[in-house]
Amino acid sequence: MHTATLPRPTPAWRWAALVLASLAMFGNYYAYDALNPVVDLLREQQGLDYREVGMLSTAYNIAALLVLLTGGWVIDRFGARRAIVAFAAVCVLAAAVTAAAPNFPTLLSGRFLLGLGAEPLIVAVTVVLARWFKGKELSFAFGLNLSISRLGSAATDWSPSFAAPLYSNWHDPLWLATGVMSAGLGAAVLYFALERRAEGRFDLGAAGETDRLDLRGLYRFSPSYWYIVALCVVFYSTVFPFRSFAIDYFQQAHGLSREAAGMLSSLLPVAAIVATPLFGLWVDRVGRRSLFMAIGSLAMLPLFLVVTYLPPGPAVPLPFSEVELPLTLFLAVLVFGGVFSLIPAVMWPAVAYIVEERRLGSAYALMTFCQQIGWAIVPLAVGTLNEHFLAGPENPAGYAPGMWFYTALSALGLVFAWKLWQAERGPGGHGLEYPGGARPPA
């Protein structure tokens, strides 16, 4: 039967597809973040230094850059549902190689493999969500998908509490991550079966253009687009590397237990789970997108210096846990969580107002490509700074140069957001400051 004569999928089918695809993403984010709570163990038991820890992050980005360069070929050639299963399987393999690694080079190859699987898995999931939800709650579906992914990040941060016995060595928490990613693979297989059953019953639309990188069209994007890309690069080059080192930093520089440091770090994704969709709804009503990005960047600016230089303050009990956290750190990470909700909720959809629809895939692919470059460099730089300044529990001041580096990146982010705001308030603006993305008639 011709697909145009078939009905669109019913809500039950659409939400089942969303839940299964998002569970694969949960596993993906869990596997990526699983390294964060074992940084101290990797240093103590495996003899890694901070620069090598940074290299583990960079290996992921280099692989992701290579995959993004080859574009959505696999997704186009084999279809998104097969691609989801294949990339999830690569993530399981990557997690297992990392968990079993006997030495640093194998650890590096595990993280490289993860980059090969995890980033195209994100693209493939985006493609399937667009097919199921096109014209129906697409932004909301993307928001929920991101929230479930972030729950994966938060679950990794909580694992020193709920899986405390595993943390006697660094391998076992990573085997747990392999198990979680295997469950994600299971969800991917179920998604595959679901889509196969839906074929012939529903019109799932034509497979859309995947996020292909078209380097020839770069010069045709407007300055506003490039300000958003620049903000994206510095923003994620600050947030993701900060998260990679955060648990170890809170342990070493502030004397927190692994459980408390994990709980503190989890406030970042947890705040984002709740607040990202709300900010998305709010901005859709009021507009002011570039102003909000500037406000988010401004709020982020002092945070790294606050955690470095301000007194920790009284210990406050964290609700629903046995953990107590120093008030200053608690508030700083909570504000950071707010920024981590606000900027992504506004920034990614803003591109759709600036770039015409037929070039949107290319625009997002280019933005992700640039994001990976910045995110590849910063963990190496911070790791090198930590090593150079002999950061450690005996010398907490050694972490300060890394914190100044994050602050400098945040300042750059503020400059780009401010430039965007200027551009959008002028005659060449794209309507980012207006609710529906359109300037009201004069």
Ligand X SMILES: NCCCC[C@H](N)C(=O)NCC(=O)O
For ligand X, the closer of residues 122 and 144 by Cβ is 122
For ligand X, the closer of residues 33 and 248 by Cβ is 33
Residue with tokens 């600016």: 301
What letter would DSSP give residue 301? T
For ligand X, the closer of residues 142 and 405 by Cβ is 142
Q: Taking Cα atoms as reference points, which of 123, 135, 145, 108 lies closest to residue 276?
A: 145
For ligand X, the closer of residues 370 and 400 by Cβ is 370
Selected binder of ligand X within 17, 65, 95, 122 (CB under 6 A): 122
Q: How far is the CB of 32 from ligand X (least distance, A)?
A: 4
Contact map string, positions 140 to 179, toward ligand X, x by CB under 6 A: ----------------------------------------
What is the bridge-based pairing of β-strands 324-326 and 315-317? antiparallel
Distance CA 357, CA 209 (A): 11
Which residue, judged by CB position, is nearest to ligand X in the bound state?
Answer: 32
The full DSSP string for 74-125 is: HHHHH-HHHHHHHHHHHHHHHHHHHHH-SSHHHHHHHHHHHHHHHHHHHHHH
Positions in 229-248 near ligand X (CB under 6 A): 236
- How many chain residues are in contact with ligand X, going by CB under 6 A? 8
Distance CA 329, CA 250 (A): 9
For ligand X, the closer of residues 253 and 409 by Cβ is 409
Q: How far is the CB of 217 from ligand X (least distance, A)?
A: 21
For 252, the 3-state DSSP assignment is helix
Positions in 364-383 near ligand X (CB under 6 A): 368, 371
98 to 158, 169, 178, 247, 377: CA distances (angstroms): 20, 14, 9, 19, 21
Q: Taking Cα atoms as reference points, which of 297, 160, 283 lies closest to residue 227?
A: 297
Q: How far is the CB of 34 from ligand X (least distance, A)?
A: 10
Q: Does 32 bind ligand X (CB under 6 A)?
A: yes
Q: How far is the CB of 272 from ligand X (least distance, A)?
A: 8
Q: Where does this chain bind ligand X (CB under 6 A)?
A: 29, 32, 119, 122, 236, 344, 368, 371
